[in-house]
Amino acid sequence: MSHFHPQPEWLTEYAAGSLDWPMALAVGVHLHYCPACRQAVQQLDAVGGALLEELTPMAVSAGLKASVMAMLDDVPVLPVQKTKAPDVPALLKRWVPQGYTDLRWRRVLPVLHEVMLEKNRDIKVALHRIAPGGKISSHTHTGQEITVVLSGHFSDELGMYADGDFILRTGEHQHSPRASQNEECICLTIVQGGLKVSGLLGVLVNPFLR
Amino acid sequence: MSEELSPSPGHEKWSALLEQVALHRDKRAFAELFEHFAPLLKAYLFSIGGRSLNDASVEELVQEAMLSVWRKAPLYDRKKAAASTWIYTLTRNLRIDWLRRQNRQEAEELPDEWEDADEHEPVVSLHLHKLNHELNHSLKQLPIDQKEVLMKVYMEDKSHQDVAMELNLPLGTVKSRVRLALQKLKVNLSHVEL
């Protein structure tokens, strides 16, 4: 059971499908761990279904039904049993087919490894692994940073976080995350608009975290 | 589960048809679902698509959604969701993947991953039953300004911020209208509200 959740507006926008993809990914991963948010989204989905029925139907083109009906026999039947590695949220399976240990972790700092999932001009989606007791130098964000804990624990100036916790940091916060002493911590991190490292290591780390 | 706690009676028909499709690959049941839902999905995709979807891609997505209904019907559970809810989430997810494909110019299909993210609780709460049962009715009772913002967030692909700008309202007002509307619809967000 997580203790840090996305704000209510995010859950609503998630159910409404209006949340941008990387944020929707973060919320979806959080849902994997959080029964309370899953139940909330289930209810918010029901609102979507009811609103759908409030719309004025629009006639589809004449041939559409016939062409769909003609395709039905070619649609593969859904395999009933889904394969499931219990530890990895379904949304991350594409990048983490076997588990976190088999990934190609790239060393960013002695205590920090990274696997980049997606990167473009304004957004970076990555997995981070912090070694037991590892501390990341203090940084602030020019945009926002979302972290969802996938395994282990970490803490910063504002709290202590475990599996599924959803942490949003913006320019207001300066923080230095630290993994717990007894195990490594793996997180999903989404950074929009970059971050600025303020500590001594800043000069070294900045080119990697940008 | 007692009769009066099921999703409202109008929904029973669509749920039953979905089960026919799931159990017997019943094409006549599917045709009925198509006639009801395809025009609603077209309206939805039109409304939500804005400039990102042209007429041809709207119908392409309607087709993709209805084929998904056929393929995934075995996953549907009427105790957990009204047929319209299930079809709504399926189409919403297809659209998100579609937009993502467009942005990445990727030809290949993305795996069905959202379904798992939305995977419902094994235990269906009594609360959800009550909500499903009363939803269509309580939606009709909503004050117009609350329903308007809800429609914009759900059916026009707008964030709370977008709605605030469009209606020239403070963001806080939009948030509180959505919150009030959801409260009246008995959506329970107490664990995330301060």
Q: With 90 as the cut, is the pLDDT of residue B48 above it?
A: no
Taking each helix axis as running N to C, give the angle between helix B55-72 and helix B83-104, from 0 to 180 degrees, rounded to the nearest 10.
Answer: 130
Kindly indicate the confidence band of residue B169, based on its pLDDT and cuts at 50, 70 and 90: very high
Kindly indicate the confidence band of residue B55, based on its pLDDT and cuts at 50, 70 and 90: confident
Q: With 90 as the cut, is the pLDDT of residue B125 above it?
A: no
Per-domain residue ranges of chain A: 92-209
Q: With 80 as the cut, is the pLDDT of residue B40 above it?
A: yes
Please give the residue that has the higher pLDDT: either A152 or B108.
Answer: A152
3-state SS of B135-189?
HHHHHHHCCHHHHHHHHHHHHCCCCHHHHHHHHCCCHHHHHHHHHHHHHHCCCCC
Mean pLDDT value of segment B16-23: 93
Please give the residue that has the higher pLDDT: either B45 or B109.
Answer: B45
Mean pLDDT value of segment B48-73: 86
Superfamily of domain A92-209, CATH level 4: Jelly Rolls (2.60.120.10)
Query: Tell me, what's the pLDDT at B180?
Result: 95
Please give the Cα distance from B4 to A129 (Å, whole number). Answer: 50
Q: With 90 as the cut, is the pLDDT of residue B172 above it?
A: yes
Q: Number of residue pairs across A and B with CB atoms under 8 Å? A: 210
- Helix (H) / strand (E) element for A174: namely strand A174-175
* Highest mean pLDDT of the ranges B40-44, B47-51, B137-141: B40-44
Q: With 50 as the cut, is the pLDDT of residue B5 above it?
A: no
Query: Tell me, what's the pLDDT at A57?
Result: 96
Tens place of pLDDT for every residue, chain A, 210 residues?
678 999 999 999 999 998 888 888 999 999 989 989 998 999 999 999 999 999 999 999 989 999 999 999 988 876 655 555 557 888 888 888 888 988 999 998 889 999 999 888 788 999 999 999 998 877 777 778 899 999 999 998 888 999 899 998 887 777 788 898 888 999 999 988 765 555 544 444 444 444
Q: With 60 as the cut, is the pLDDT of residue B165 above it?
A: yes
Are A87 and A99 contacting, i.e. CB atoms less than 8 angstroms apart? yes
Q: Which of A9, A49, A93 sits opposite B85 (nearest CB)?
A: A49
Are B20 and B29 contacting, i.e. CB atoms less than 8 angstroms apart? yes
Weakest-pLDDT range from B15-24, B120-129, B169-178? B120-129
Query: Are the Cβ atoms of A68 and B114 closer than 8 angstroms?
Result: no
Query: Tell me, what's the pLDDT at B1?
Result: 41
CA closest to B76 among chain A residues: A80
| 3-state DSSP percent of chain B in helix, strand and coil, to 5 | 75, 0, 25
- Could you tell me if B29 lies within 8 Å of chain A, comparing CB atoms? no
Query: Tell me, what's the pLDDT at A102?
Result: 85
Are A43 and B128 contacting, i.e. CB atoms less than 8 angstroms apart? yes
* Highest mean pLDDT of the ranges A84-98, A194-208, B71-85, B160-174: B160-174
Please give the residue that has the higher pLDDT: either B30 or A35.
Answer: B30
| 3-state DSSP percent of chain A in helix, strand and coil, to 5 | 30, 30, 40
* Highest mean pLDDT of the ranges A150-159, B58-67, B115-124, B130-139: B58-67
Query: Tell me, what's the pLDDT at A37?
Result: 92
At the second CATH level, the architecture of B142-194 is Orthogonal Bundle (1.10)
Please give the Cα distance from A99 to B25 (Å, whole number). Answer: 36
Q: Which CATH code fits B3-120?
A: 1.10.1740.10
Query: Tell me, what's the pLDDT at B3?
Result: 42
Nearest-CA distance A44 → chain B (Å): 7
Task: Delimit the CATH 1.10.10.10 region(s) of chain B.
Answer: 142-194
Residue numbers of B between 136 and 155 with CB closer than 8 Å to A: 136, 139, 150-151, 153-155
Nearest-CA distance B164 → chain A (Å): 13
Q: Which of B43, B83, B160 sits opposite A58 (nearest CB)?
A: B43
Query: Tell me, what's the pLDDT at A203?
Result: 43
Q: With 50 as the cut, is the pLDDT of residue B123 above it?
A: yes
In 3D, which of A139, A185, A194, A180 has the Cα closest to residue A164?
Answer: A185
Residue numbers of B between 90 and 129 with CB closer than 8 Å to A: 92-93, 95-96, 99-100, 110-111, 113-121, 125, 127-128
Query: Tell me, what's the pLDDT at A204?
Result: 46
Q: With 80 as the cut, is the pLDDT of residue B2 above it?
A: no
